[in-house]
Amino acid sequence: MRPRLLRHEPGEELVFETLVVHRSLVRMQHAFRFVGDGTRCELVQSFEVDGLLVPVLWRWLHPGMQQFEALGRDLAARLADQSASAPSG
């Protein structure tokens, strides 16, 4: 399984999709959205799984979803570090 970039809106969202053999069997979509008001930015992530084999493979898929949570925390920390070190003005 290899995720592919499904959608990229710079500064707004990144959406990845992973298929297992065919989208009707297992389709996983992981999205990062950047929500802000001009002074603050929050990283919001979502994860969707659907397909005929999801009930059978759920025990295998669920632990992998936790890795995406760690990825989101790491990405948020990196963005915060870059923001803190960026020159103001």
pLDDT at 35: 84
pLDDT at 86: 64
Q: How far is CA 77 from CA 50, 57, 60, 61, 70, in A?
A: 29, 31, 28, 25, 11
What's the sign of the alpha-carbon dihedral 8, 13, 14, 15? negative
pLDDT at 74: 82
Mean pLDDT on 69-78: 76
User: In which residue are the tokens 């799984």 written?
Assistant: 49
- Given pLDDT bands bounded at 50, 70 and 90, which one contains residue 27? very high
- Given pLDDT bands bounded at 50, 70 and 90, which one contains residue 37? confident
